[in-house]
Structure 1
Amino acid sequence: MAFEIISTLLIAVALAMDAFSVSLTKGFTQNLKTNQILYYGLFFGFFQFMMPIIGYYIGGIISQFLASIASVIGFILLLAIGLNMIRESLEDEDESADSFSFSEVTLLAIATSIDALAVGLTYALLNESIIIPSIIIGIVAFIFSIIGIFLGKKIGDYFGGRFQILGGVILILIGIKILLGL
């Protein structure tokens, strides 16, 4: 039992790393209000919670097809958002730095939780329960997202300036990592 909890926590931490990286980027590229920070945590946590459950119940032939294109979908989403961040950074700095979009948060949450879908498929193949692991995965992603934003704000405050280009590049690199299955 203790081994299962530890392994689930390790899986949750590994899955939360993309959400943490994106949150870190958002922390140093946007001046987010407290409720917006909470939205990031809730969206990332919710999608990290739901994707293993969805993966668990997909199964069969559909799961093989989705597994083959999931990395491409994640890459395309992160590439588009990263390129948009770079484009916005080259525009008027005051306009782009404070923009907040529910659609962007949703796309980022989906893109960073694609790996969790595969974890759900794995749990189904192992015939293990998915609810408790999904809850743990969601909570860890929520916590890591909030911590990432606060750390990003500190980095952004310390270094100031044009971190949005760096943020866009980081998102694109995360997308490439997902595409290559690293």
Structure 2
Amino acid sequence: MFDITAEIGQMLTILIMAVALGMDAFSLGIGIGLKGIRLLDILKLSALISIFHVLMPLGGMYTGQYVSTLLGGIATTAAGALLLLLGGHMVYSAIRGEAVESINHRTIWGMLVFSFSVSIDSFSVGVSLGMFSSSVLMTVLVFGMLGGLMSVLGLMIGRSASRSLGGYGEALGGVILFAFGLLFLI
């Protein structure tokens, strides 16, 4: 019974983290969508974001597993501190109003830069998760699916929503990661 509860808790944690990481793609997608975007570009950009949301945490998890063997008992504290920093940075960026106005999302380089920029946070979270030996395949697949889905939603909503919603989505994602960081440290 305890193993099932632990598995459900782990899956719920991964889902919440995936949503928090996807908030970045969602909120920035709203901004891109407000500039006007074709449906084909939405599909291309979201597919790239999904790929980056798989590759970045995968690299982070393997790095985290290596770091975990080096750090031993300090791993939990280091993982919590990483999530605190990451969540705090996301909230700070949302408050400060950083945007990706200079990226032309219609070019392949623009799509790659945009996809990388909204997925870089996944690497840090992957490092943290790698220190806890969570299921690698399940984690990266959930991160990829939700990252892609949330980018599609953000881009579609951005076509018809106001610009002010975007910053709140990134701030919410940051608050969630910050809260997980606190939980790891407590």
Q: TM-score, normalised by structure 1?
A: 0.65
Please state how far the C-alpha of 1:80 moved relative to its aligned partner.
Answer: 8.3
Classify the secondary structure of the residue corresponding to 1:132: helix
Question: For 2:99 and 2:56, how far apart are their aligned partners in 1?
Answer: 21
Q: Which amino acid aligns with 1:27?
A: G
Do structure 1's residue 57 and structure 2's residue 62 form an aligned pair? yes
Which of 17, 20, 29 is equivalent to 2:26?
20
> Please, which moves more after superposition, 119-128 or 38-47?
119-128
* Alignment-mate amino acid for residue 142 of structure 1: G
SS in 2 for 1:154: coil
**Counterpart among 45, 48, 52 of residue 47 in structure 1:** 52
Q: Superposition RMSD on alpha carbons, in Å?
A: 3.3
How far 1:79 sits from its partner (Å)? 6.0
Distance 1:21 1:80 in 2: 10
Contact 1:27 1:148 in 2 (8 A): yes
Q: What corresponds to 1:105 in structure 2?
A: 111
In 2: Cα distance, 1:45 partner to 1:33 partner:
18
Q: How many residues align?
A: 142
Q: Matched residues in 2 for 1:48 and 1:28: separation?
A: 23
Unaligned runs of 5+ in 2: 1-6, 71-77, 179-186
1:93 corresponding residue in structure 2:
none
- Aligned to 1:113, what secondary structure does the other structure show? helix
The one-letter code matched in structure 2 to 1:106 is L
Correspondence list, 1:7-156, <5 A: 7-30=13-36, 32-58=37-63, 59-60=66-67, 81-82=100-101, 84=102, 100-155=106-161
Gaps of at least 5 residues in structure 1 are 86-95, 157-162
The percentage of counterpart residues that share the same residue type is 20
Q: For residue 5 of structure 1, report the CA deviation from its aligned partner.
A: 1.4
